[in-house]
C-alpha cells in the first residue's frame, strides 16, 4: 500500500514528504495507522547525523499514537480498530530481561531494531523500489507503519491521541525516571537540568511524588514559566553565574540535592549533575543522550563519598503493562499532557517542528496526519 510519510533521505537535510510503499505485516507484526506523532530531540539528533548508528534513508519518529489497521500471522494481543502507542522499548514478557523484574530493557527485537529492520532482517518501507529503514521499532513519521506486536501498547480508544502520543516517549520517560529510577520520596530535593519535554516531565513527576524543593535549570529562561506551572520552586540560568553550576546548587542547598536529573545530553552537565548531588546519599540520573564517542567523567571521590550515578531508558517503564494505566491516569487528569503540546502541525509542515525545537520555542510539536 501507499503511505504519506516524511522521509529522512540524508543526514542534515530536511525531511521530504513522499508517498512510500508499505508492505503487509509479516508474522508477529502489525500495520498501524498513525494519527499523531510528537517530535523529540532524539529524532533531531539522528537526523543531524551525529548519531553513529543513524541509518539513511529512514522513517524517523518514535512518539506516536494510532489505530491498528491489520495484523500479521500469529498476532493475538491486538486486532484491527484497537488504539495503540508504538514502543521503542518492547515488552515480550519472555526474555531474560522481561522476566528479571529488574528492568524494562526487553531484548526481543533489540538486535534488528538497532539495524533499522524488522525481526526477519528486512524493511517494510520502500521508495522507488529501494528499501527505507525503520527507526527505533516505531517509524511514526509515516501514516502507515509496521511494528512488532511486542512493541505495541493497547490503550483506551477514548484517549486524546494528540496528547497521549507523548506517552510514547517524553512524558513517560520523565515521570518514570522519577518514580522507577530515582524513587523520589516526599520532601526530597530535586535538581532538573534541561527543561524540554523530558525535564518538564521530571518536574511533573517530582511534584506528583511530593518532592520538596524542585530546582529547574536551563540556559533558556523562556522555559521557566512552564517549569513553574509544573511545580518547580527555584529557577537557575547557568549564564547568570560565573562559577560552576554545581557549586551554585550546592550553595543553594547546603550539601546538594537528593536527586538530580540530566535531561539535555551534555556530558559537561552530566558532571555538574552528579557533583551537585548530596554528599552521603545523593544520586544523579542520566536521561539525555550524548553525542557519539563522548564520555562522562568526575573525580571518583564523588562516588566514594556516597553519590550514585544512574541512567534510564523510557523511565524504566514496561510499555505494554504500564502505558495503558498511564493513559487512564492522563484521562483522569492525574497526569497532565496538554501543557507539553505547545504547537501542532500537519505532516506537510513537519520540518517546522524541528525548527521550533532548535529555536527553543516549543516543548513538543505534535504532527497530525
Q: Verify binding: residue 288, ligand NAD, rule CB under 6 A.
A: yes
| Catalytic site includes residue 138 | no
108 contact, one of ligand DAO, ligand NAD, Zn ion, none, CB 5-8 Å limit per kind: Zn ion
Q: Decide if residue 92 touches Zn ion (CB under 5 A).
A: yes
Tell me, yes or no, if 263 is annotated catalytic: no
| DSSP designation for 12 | T
The whole-angstrom distance between residue 173's C-alpha and the CA centroid of its chain comes to 5
The binding track of 207-246 with respect to ligand DAO, each residue x by CB under 6 A or -, is: ----------------------------------------
Do the bridges between strand 364-368 and strand 29-38 make them parallel or antiparallel, or are there none, so unpaired?
Answer: antiparallel
Q: Is 99 exposed, middle or buried (0-12, 13-18, 19+ CB in 10 A)?
A: exposed
Q: Which residue number, 27 or 210, has a Cβ lying nearer to Zn ion?
A: 27
Q: According to DSSP H, which parts of 130-194 are helical?
A: 161-164, 170-176
The H or E element spanning position 358 is helix 350-358
Decide whether 28 or 176 has the Cβ nearer to ligand NAD.
Answer: 176
Question: Catalytic annotation on 106?
Answer: yes
Q: How far is the C-alpha of 257 from the C-alpha of 259, rounded, in Å?
A: 5
CA-wise closest residue to 137 among 124, 126, 127, 146: 146
Residue 136: count of CB within 10 angstroms of its CB: 25
User: Does 42 qualify as catalytic in the annotation?
Assistant: yes
**Window 61 to 120, contacts with ligand DAO (CB under 6 A):** 62, 88-89, 105, 110
Q: Comparing C-alpha atoms, which of 326, 32, 345 is closest to residue 172?
A: 326
Of 46, 69, 83, 98, catalytic: 98
Residue from 106, 155, 165, 208 binding Zn ion (CB under 5 A): 106
Q: Binding of Zn ion at residue 191 (CB under 5 A)?
A: no
Residues binding ligand NAD: number (CB under 6 A) = 33
CB atoms within 10 A of CB 183: 12
Residues 154-183 that bind ligand NAD (CB under 6 A): 169-170, 173
Identify whether 368 is a catalytic site residue.
no
Interface residues with ligand NAD (CB under 6 A) are 40-42, 45, 169-170, 173, 193-199, 217-220, 223, 238, 263-266, 269, 287-289, 312-314, 357, 360
Interface residues with ligand DAO (CB under 6 A) are 40, 42, 62, 88-89, 105, 110, 169, 289, 313
Amino acid at each position: 500500500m501507499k503511505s504519506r510519510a516524511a522521509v529522512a533521505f540524508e543526514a542534515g537535510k530536511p525531511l521530504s514528504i513522499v508517498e512510500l510503499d508499505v508492505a503487509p505485516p509479516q508474522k508477529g507484526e502489525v500495520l498501524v495507522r498513525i494519527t499523531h506523532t510528537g517530535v523529540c530531540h532524539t529524532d533531531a539528533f539522528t537526523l543531524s547525523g551525529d548519531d553513529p548508528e543513524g541509518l539513511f534513508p529512514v522513517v524517523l519518529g518514535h512518539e506516536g499514537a494510532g489505530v491498528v489497521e491489520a495484523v500479521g500471522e500469529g498476532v493475538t494481543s491486538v486486532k484491527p480498530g484497537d488504539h495503540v502507542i508504538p514502543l521503542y522499548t518492547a515488552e515480550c514478557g519472555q526474555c531474560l530481561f522481561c522476566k528479571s523484574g529488574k528492568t524494562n530493557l526487553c531484548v526481543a527485537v533489540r538486535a534488528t531494531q538497532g539495524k533499522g529492520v524488522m525481526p526477519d532482517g528486512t524493511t517494510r518501507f520502500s521508495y522507488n523500489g529501494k528499501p527505507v529503514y525503520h527507526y527505533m521499532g516505531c517509524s511514526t513519521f509515516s501514516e502507515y507503519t509496521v511494528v512488532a506486536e511486542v512493541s505495541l501498547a493497547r490503550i483506551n480508544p477514548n484517549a486524546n491521541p494528540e496528547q497521549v502520543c507523548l506517552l510514547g516517549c517524553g512524558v513517560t520517560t520523565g515521570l518514570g525516571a522519577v518514580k522507577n529510577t530515582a524513587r523520589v520520596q516526599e520532601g526530597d530535593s530535586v535538581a532538573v537540568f534541561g527543561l524540554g519535554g523530558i525535564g518538564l516531565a521530571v518536574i511533573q513527576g517530582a511534584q506528583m511524588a511530593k518532592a520538596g524543593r524542585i530546582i529547574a535549570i536551563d540556559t533558556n529562561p523562556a522555559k521557566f514559566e512552564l517549569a513553574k506551572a509544573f511545580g518547580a520552586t527555584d529557577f537557575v540560568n547557568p549564564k547568570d553565574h560565573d562559577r560552576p553550576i554545581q557549586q551554585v546548587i550546592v550553595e543553594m542547598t547546603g550539601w546538594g540535592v537528593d536527586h538530580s536529573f540530566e535531561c539535555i545530553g551534555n556530558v559537561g552537565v552530566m558532571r555538574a549533575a552528579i557533583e551537585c548531588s548530596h554528599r552521603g546519599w545523593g544520586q544523579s540520573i542520566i536521561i539525555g543522550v550524548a553525542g557519539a564517542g563522548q564520555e562522562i567523567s568526575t573525580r571518583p571521590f564523588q562516588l566514594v563519598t556516597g553519590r550514585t550515578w544512574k541512567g534510564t531508558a523510557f523511565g524504566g517503564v514496561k510499555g505494554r503493562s504500564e502505558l495503558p494505566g498511564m493513559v487512564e491516569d492522563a484521562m483522569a487528569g492525574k497526569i497532565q499532557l496538554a501543557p507539553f503540546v505547545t504547537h501542532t502541525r500537519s505532516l506537510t509542515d513537519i520540518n517546522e517542528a524541528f525548527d521550533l525545537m532548535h529555536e527553543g520555542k516549543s516543548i513538543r510539536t505534535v504532527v497530525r496526519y
